[in-house]
Amino acid sequence: MNNAKGFILILFHILQIISISKGQLKVGFYSQTCPNAESIVKSVVKEATLVNPQMPPVLLRLHFHDCFVEGCDGSILITENVSNPEIGANAHQGVEGFEQINDAKKELETQCPGVVSCADIVAMAARDAIFLAGGPSYNVETGRRDGKISNIKLAADMPDVDDQIDTLKSKFRNKGLSEKDLVLLSGGAHTIGTAACFFMSKRLYNFTGKDNFNDSDPKINPNFLPVIKNQCPKDGDFDVRIPLDAVTSDKFDDQSLRNIKNGTAVLSSDARLYDDEFTRQVVNSYADVDQNLGLKKVSSFAQDFAKAMVKMGRIGVKVGSDGEIRRVCNSFN
Ligand X SMILES: *[C@@H]1O[C@H](CO)[C@@H](O)[C@H](O)[C@H]1NC(C)=O
Nearest-angstrom CA–CA distance, 175 and 265: 25
From the list ligand HEM, ligand X, none, which binds 94 (C-beta under 5 to 8 Å, kind-based)? Answer: ligand HEM
Rounded to the nearest 5 degrees, what angle is found at the Cα of 87, between the Cα atoms of 81 and 93? 150
Options 111-119, 192-200, 220-228, 288-296: segment touching ligand HEM (CB under 6 A): 192-200
Task: Look at residues 282, 190, 281, 202 and name the one whose alpha carbon lies nearest to residue 242.
Answer: 190
Q: Which of 193, 228, 286, 306 binds ligand HEM (CB under 6 A)?
A: 193
Q: Is 69 left (phi over 0), alpha (psi -120 to 50) or beta?
A: beta
Q: Collect all residues with Cβ–Cβ distance below 8 Å to 25 and sequence separation of at least 6.
A: 141, 142, 143, 144, 313, 314, 317, 319
Nearest CB to ligand X, comparing residues 178 and 221: 221
Is residue 65 annotated as a catalytic residue, yes or no? yes
User: Is 233 marked as a binding-site residue?
Assistant: no
Does 94 contact ligand HEM by CB under 6 A?
A: yes
- Choose from ligand X, ligand HEM, none: what does 81 bind? Cβ within 5-8 Å by kind: ligand X
Residue with Cβ nearer ligand X (72 or 228) = 228
Query: Annotation-wise, does 159 bind a ligand?
Result: yes
196 touches, from ligand X, ligand HEM, none (C-beta below 5 to 8 Å by class): ligand HEM
Distance between CA atoms of residues 21 and 319, nearest Å:
9
23 binds ligand HEM (CB under 6 A): no
Q: How far is the CB of 220 from ligand X (least distance, A)?
A: 10
Beta strands (DSSP E) in the chain are 26-27, 141-142, 194-196, 241-243
Give the dihedral sign, CA 54/156/274/212: positive
- 87 touching ligand HEM, by CB under 6 A: no
Cα–Cα distance measured from residue 296 to residue 275, given in angstroms and rounded to the nearest whole number: 29
Contacts 24+ apart (CB under 8 A), 297-304: 299/254, 301/184, 301/188, 301/253, 301/254, 301/257, 302/135, 302/136, 302/254, 303/136, 304/180, 304/184
**Residue of minimal Cβ distance to ligand X:** 209
- Residue 331's binding partner among ligand X, ligand HEM, none (Cβ under 5 to 8 angstroms by kind) is ligand X
The least CB distance from residue 127 to ligand HEM, in Å, is 11
Among the listed ranges 26-34, 51-59, 275-283, 294-302, the one in contact with ligand HEM (CB under 6 A) is 51-59
Dihedral Cα 74, 80, 84, 88, nearest 10 deg: 70
190 binds ligand HEM (CB under 6 A): yes
Task: Indicate the annotated binding residues for heme b.
Answer: 190
Which residues are annotated as catalytic?
A: 65
Which residues of the chain form contacts with ligand HEM (CB under 6 A)? 54, 57-58, 60-61, 64, 94, 159-161, 168, 185-186, 189-190, 192-196, 199, 244, 267, 269
